[in-house]
A and B are shown apart, each in its own frame.
Chain A
């Protein structure tokens, strides 16, 4: 069975802290997506990666294919980073047929 596990489920941080969210999956994938869902409900794609590391501003995503594990890091966290972060994996060979993790709810306090 294809499964996606995220940890932690909930995360509270103080502004400025370094944050890590983890995602593990059960079988080989063609790509992994990190999504951000704002408190208002909108979903934004942050990263799509199949190997290595990507960086955008204060966000860094890494993936270890051998260990079937990915991490999303937020440096110098800010209250506007408060959102649900969702990991999704593509088992379909690149057709974006995704299976989603349950999400990590992040709250960053000033």
Chain B
């Protein structure tokens, strides 16, 4: 397995633009997590899915953020409209209920100008 795959690796955009981050989890993993990492706040959980269903989105900062998981092999995190304070590294991770060890993607570094 190629691991958790995220795209894009780097994104630079201007304030007000829509940003879509993508994640392909490890095949067979039924949990998918989106995290955000900033210098000020460290790593924070934004939302997680189980069997493609959002379970807990309490970490999503505001309505400008949305996440979907249309099938077991794909998830998106969307920010619309983006703001400079959204600049961060966004990580996707997946795990199985039985194994529970997390596998992280390489991250998507977002810069909003």
Does A13 sit at the interface, judged by CB under 8 A?
no
Question: Which size bracket describes the interface of B in this complex?
Answer: 20 to 34
A100 x B102 contact (CB < 8 A): no
Chain A residues closer than 8 Å to B31, beta-carbon distance: 95-96
Min C-beta distance of A1 to chain B, whole Å: 14
Taking a contact as CB atoms closer than 8 A, the residue among A41, A86, A96 that contacts B100 in the complex is A96
Interface SS of B by simple majority: strand
Min C-beta distance of A87 to chain B, whole Å: 11
Question: Which size bracket describes the interface of A in this complex?
Answer: 20 to 34
Does B12 sit at the interface, judged by CB under 8 A?
no
Does A44 sit at the interface, judged by CB under 8 A?
yes
Residues of chain B whose beta carbon lies under 8 Å from any beta carbon of chain A: 31, 33, 42-45, 48, 50, 55-56, 89, 91, 93, 95, 100-104, 106-107, 109
